[in-house]
């Protein structure tokens, strides 16, 4: 399967491309001031992208062939809930892991 | 004096980045194992992790290679997953844009979700932090995550056998990202941005090359900006 590919070509192009994406604004815009409306949009980058990346993984996990999984859903809700309440990233991760394993154990 | 405080800012970053190694490690081991099963050798796995440092994109590339997708599709999809990094890059400009070019290049290479989000929370809470401390804090946040990413993906490649499914390692990333998002939901605008992004991501999940994520990100950012404007106008007498 992998033998059909030039793996080094893939590694190098992915590396250059990923660096390019990471560098494009920070490197090329630098200290030129950005317009207010751009900054207003950028403020919400993390808060939009991170949950958007996660949403399909929570609702349709690959591990359960795309079927909604009560343990994973409960873990997601626990993580978010504890994170909102405590404002502490580590506490939220701990809550998510505990609920995930408890849920998996209960649903076996 | 300023150098000692800069040093402590670096170590504060290391401390704040450290917890993520707990979720990064199993994820990276999994990458090493899956890549080895797909036919990569240890050196190729390590190079992959060092050159790319982007778990989601690396898994996407592996997945598509196992499906025998054309090389162009493998590259396009993996890089599309990484388009969010361009948005991160743009959102770092107001905070780090004045740093020297070599520092900006270093920050760019080291931009990964967890440390980016940790640094953004810090920058928003402490806007008066001097530029050189912002850079040091960022590097500090990244060091534990990236080091563990390199080493544990290589360990995965050396172990090379399937991990039991019961570990549910697939869910390490969702839990981390949700945990990072929750403390950022400070205002109505942030909450609205997140909700719209989630809804859009689910609706557009059918789009190829993970483009749904980009559509969702843009929709969420536009929502946040509009709600912020609306709240400012309402607050004004």
Q: How many whole angstroms from its chain centre is CA A76?
A: 12
Are residues B103 and B205 both part of a single domain? no
Q: How far apart are CA B95 and CA B138, in angstroms?
A: 11
Percent of chain A with pLDDT over 70: 95
Are residues B92 and B11 both part of a single domain? yes
pLDDT of residue B1: 40
Strand intervals (E) in chain A:
none
Are residues B90 and B191 both part of a single domain? no
Are residues B189 and B173 both part of a single domain? no
pLDDT of residue B161: 62
Number of independent structural domains in chain B: 2
Are residues B178 and B189 both part of a single domain? no
Q: How far apart are CA B170 and CA B127, in angstroms?
A: 35
Encode pLDDT of B101-154 as tens digits.
999 999 999 999 888 999 998 998 999 999 999 999 999 999 999 999 999 999
Are residues B105 and B134 both part of a single domain? yes
Given a cut of 60, is residue A30 above it in pLDDT? yes
Nearest residue of chain B to residue A83 (CA atoms): B182
The Cα of B2 is separated from the nearest Cα of chain A by a number of Å equal to: 23
Q: Is B180's CB within 8 Å of A50's CB?
A: yes
The Cα of A57 is separated from the nearest Cα of chain B by a number of Å equal to: 7
Q: Which domain holds residue B81?
A: 2-182
Nearest residue of chain B to residue A40 (CA atoms): B225
Are residues B139 and B33 both part of a single domain? yes
Averaged confidence pLDDT in chain B: 87
More confident residue, A59 or B210: A59
Residue B204 with chain A: CB contacts under 8 Å: none
pLDDT of residue A29: 85
Q: Is A10's CB within 8 Å of B74's CB?
A: yes
pLDDT of residue B89: 93
pLDDT of residue B3: 54
Nearest residue of chain B to residue A84 (CA atoms): B182
Both structure tokens of B26: 């199993």
The Cα of A38 is separated from the nearest Cα of chain B by a number of Å equal to: 9
Residue A19 with chain B: CB contacts under 8 Å: 108-109
Encode pLDDT of B142-175 as tens digits.
999 999 999 999 999 988 766 666 677 778 778 8
- Closest in A15, A26, A39 to B107, CB measured: A26
DSSP letter assigned to residue B148: H
pLDDT of residue A95: 94
Nearest residue of chain A to residue B91 (CA atoms): A42
Are residues B19 and B130 both part of a single domain? yes
Are residues B176 and B189 both part of a single domain? no
The model's pTM is 0.76
Which of B5-14, B89-98, B195-204, B224-233 is the least confident region?
A: B5-14
Q: B161, B182, B203: which is the final residue of a domain? A: B182
Q: How far apart are CA B220 and CA B74, in angstroms?
A: 27
Are residues B164 and B203 both part of a single domain? no
Given a cut of 90, is residue A34 above it in pLDDT? no
Are residues B45 and B146 both part of a single domain? yes
Are residues B73 and B128 both part of a single domain? yes
DSSP letter assigned to residue B86: H
CB B226 within 8 A of CB A77: no
Q: Is A87's CB within 8 Å of B84's CB?
A: no
The Cα of B1 is separated from the nearest Cα of chain A by a number of Å equal to: 27
Q: B159, B182, B205: which is the final residue of a domain? A: B182
């Amino acid at each position: 399967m992998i033998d059909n590919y030039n793996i080094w070509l893939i590694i190098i192009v992915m590396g250059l491309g990923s660096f390019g994406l990471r560098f494009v604004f920070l490197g090329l815009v630098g200290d030129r001031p950005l317009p207010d409306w751009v900054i207003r949009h950028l403020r919400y980058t993390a808060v939009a992208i991170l949950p958007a990346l996660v949403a399909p993984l929570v609702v349709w996990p690959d591990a359960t062939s795309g079927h909604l999984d009560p343990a994973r859903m409960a873990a997601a809700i626990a993580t978010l809930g504890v994170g909102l309440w405590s404002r502490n990233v580590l506490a939220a991760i701990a809550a998510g892991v505990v609920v995930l394993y408890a849920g998996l154990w209960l649903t076996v | 004096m300023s150098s000692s405080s800069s040093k402590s800012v670096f170590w504060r970053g290391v401390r704040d980045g450290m917890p993520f190694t707990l979720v990064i490690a199993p994820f990276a081991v999994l990458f090493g194992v899956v890549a080895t099963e797909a036919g990569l050798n240890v050196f190729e796995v390590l190079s992959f992790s060092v050159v790319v440092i982007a778990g989601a994109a690396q898994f996407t590339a592996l997945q598509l290679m196992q499906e025998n997708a054309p090389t162009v599709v493998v590259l396009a999809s993996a890089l599309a997953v990484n388009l969010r990094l361009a948005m991160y890059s743009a959102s770092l400009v107001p905070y780090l844009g004045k740093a020297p070019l070599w520092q900006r290049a270093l920050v760019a290479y080291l931009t990964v979700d967890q440390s980016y989000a940790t640094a953004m929370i810090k920058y928003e809470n402490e806007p008066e932090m001097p530029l050189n401390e912002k850079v040091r804090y960022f590097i500090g946040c990244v060091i534990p995550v990236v080091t563990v990413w390199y080493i544990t993906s290589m360990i995965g490649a050396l172990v090379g056998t399937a991990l039991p499914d019961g570990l549910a390692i697939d869910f390490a990333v969702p839990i981390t990202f949700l945990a990072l998002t929750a403390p950022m939901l400070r205002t109505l605008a942030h909450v609205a941005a997140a909700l719209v992004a989630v809804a859009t991501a689910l609706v557009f999940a059918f789009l190829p090359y993970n483009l749904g994520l980009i559509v969702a990100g843009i929709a969420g950012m536009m929502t946040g900006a509009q709600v912020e404007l609306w709240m400012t106008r309402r607050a004004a007498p």
